[in-house]
Structure 1
């Protein structure tokens, strides 16, 4: 029963959310962005942990600050902090943490399935702050950034350029839940979104009236866009088997000439960025870039996720 309750209050994948639930979280993130004083100590008396087995600047800071602004105490574990580093199973570690903590935020080298198992084993609600296949809280941030800029998401048209990594997987699942949204994933050959995630996004898009498609052909790009989005070519914590992979990725570089095809499109990047590799510096720092407000939205969206998952708000029953 504890594991079931923990999963109800967890966010392990965007697939855990309906369109309406995702909209509620995104709208709240935008509200926090405009009204930071609306945040109250809903998590007062709770002690939560951040376990980051991978490097992080924005996500770790955002969730640590968000939890504290919501009144919780925060323990921060790095990759070498727990006895899992000396061979203890995460199941045993989880049972102990479950007796002492109220929740855990995890960035891991583990899979989405393993993170879901952590919630079950520990009885703790878990927020996936990036797993191998998916980065769901980044997608919440991305949608909130677009919602804040354009006023609404219905009918939004987005082009994602680059590797079909965990950010792309989450973005696909999220935009698939927005009626009328169109997402084109423009990926290097052999570096697309994981088939299971692309299929899940396509199925959700059919259900909610959106469209998600993947291509490696430049002549199949849409004529009309609201936003162009890219990420680092070298995803955090990963390597590529092909030593010449940069040659494959070079045509997916975003510069002023690439952006000129869509005069009104804004630019997004989840950071960190390598200027001159996936994006030119004048695009990243240019007038059409929302990158820095997108970075701040990580904090606002972290607050919205923690409120929605871990605290009763606006009549939402507490399932703890």
Structure 2
């Protein structure tokens, strides 16, 4: 099956071979970028960037990736688009699809992006919804492959809030690729059964081992990758004290990492609350007395911490996704 014209709404849209191709293509495009070799596969195209949620990395990554590819990005923020407000999502999709060559969407509902893809007639790419974060996954597993040189058989441990879009996506992507995946989270914050079942079906084929546990210290034994995310997501600030109490035993700190594998990296999709140098973390300190949340300052700044390489790789991987699905490239059958 060819990539051209296809949307990327969740990891399940592509096969293992196709995901592996996107990871390798990302690494290739990064080399072209570093060597200043032009790669304008989308020259003359116009791409709509729809953002219902605010963004730093995703917006920057799409904008730079599209400029490098020769396309013209058009940002449409929360105040510019009417999805389901004064115009139905389907109507908006038809109009934008008639004007643009592709559409990125970052927002809340997976249903919204599925409607966009159904009616736009052009590729639609998921920059994040409440359920899935597939473009993040290509950059994440690209980062892992850059460090280790391979993926199958590695052990990835995700610690913290296990029922958010990043945890869902890591669980499914790792199991698809044959990476052993552990989710260490409180029982009330485990992934929904839907994602566990998808992961189990992939694991039967790939040999990935899936572990769900509430014991973080046991979970990280012999881990190659320890990954965490914020404890308090957008819209959950009012429950800060309750969330901190629930997750206080799931902080990634030096004590937790005593028994990881000798060849080990730390990952975080950012932003990270590792000190009190943001207004949000200062509020948490004033309210709850906490100065470090999901990861400590020493771990965040350690040589094994790869979150900034991971952040840069969002751009290279998004470029690969967009070029593969909309660049009229010759890509062999997977």
Verify: 1:125 aligned to 2:123, yes or no: yes
Q: Partners of 1:220 and 1:257 in 2: how far apart?
A: 12
5+ residue gaps, structure 2:
275-291
Q: Partners of 1:84 and 1:155 in 2: how far apart?
A: 42
| 3-state DSSP of counterpart to 1:105 | strand
Deviates more, 1:238-247 or 1:131-140: 238-247
Correspondence list, 1:201-216, <5 A: 201-216=199-214
- Shift in CA distance, 283/249, structure 1 to aligned 2, threshold 3 Å: same
Q: What is the match of residue 225 of structure 1?
A: 223
The partner residue of 1:281 within 287, 297, 300 is: 297
Q: What is the match of residue 29 of structure 1?
A: 26
Correspondence list, 1:187-198, <5 A: 187-198=185-196
Offset of residue 223 of structure 1: 2.6
Q: What is the match of residue 10 of structure 1?
A: 7
Q: Partners of 1:315 and 1:293 in 2: how far apart?
A: 27
Deviates more, 1:33-42 or 1:143-152: 33-42
- The number of residues matched between the two structures is 311
TM-score by length of 2: 0.87
| 3-state DSSP of counterpart to 2:177 | coil
Alpha-carbon displacement from aligned partner over 1:126-177 (angstroms, at most 9, x marks no partner): 0001011110111111100000011111211111001121011111111112
Contact 1:256 1:283 in 2 (8 A): yes
The partner residue of 2:324 within 284, 308, 318 is: 308
Q: What is the match of residue 86 of structure 2?
A: 87
Offset of residue 260 of structure 1: 1.9
- Shift in CA distance, 19/285, structure 1 to aligned 2, threshold 3 Å: same
Q: Partners of 1:198 and 1:86 in 2: how far apart?
A: 33
The partner residue of 2:132 within 120, 126, 134 is: 134
- Shift in CA distance, 81/216, structure 1 to aligned 2, threshold 3 Å: same
Q: Partners of 2:192 and 2:4 in 1: how far apart?
A: 24
Q: Partners of 2:86 and 2:3 in 1: how far apart?
A: 25
* Root mean square deviation, CA, Å: 2.1
The partner residue of 2:309 within 260, 281, 293 is: 293
Q: What is the match of residue 103 of structure 2?
A: 104
Q: Partners of 1:90 and 1:177 in 2: how far apart?
A: 31
Contact 2:159 2:216 in 1 (8 A): no
Q: Partners of 2:259 and 2:43 in 1: how far apart?
A: 50
Contact 1:7 1:120 in 2 (8 A): no
| 3-state DSSP of counterpart to 1:256 | coil
Alpha-carbon displacement from aligned partner over 1:257-283 (angstroms, at most 9, x marks no partner): 111221532100000000110000111
Contact 1:7 1:116 in 2 (8 A): no
Offset of residue 245 of structure 1: 2.1
Contact 1:32 1:39 in 2 (8 A): no
| 3-state DSSP of counterpart to 1:133 | coil
Q: What is the match of residue 172 of structure 1?
A: 171
| 3-state DSSP of counterpart to 1:190 | helix
Q: What is the match of residue 277 of structure 2?
A: none
- Shift in CA distance, 297/124, structure 1 to aligned 2, threshold 3 Å: same
Q: What is the match of residue 64 of structure 2?
A: 65
Alpha-carbon displacement from aligned partner over 1:217-274 (angstroms, at most 9, x marks no partner): 2464253111100011122455676852210100001111111221532100000000
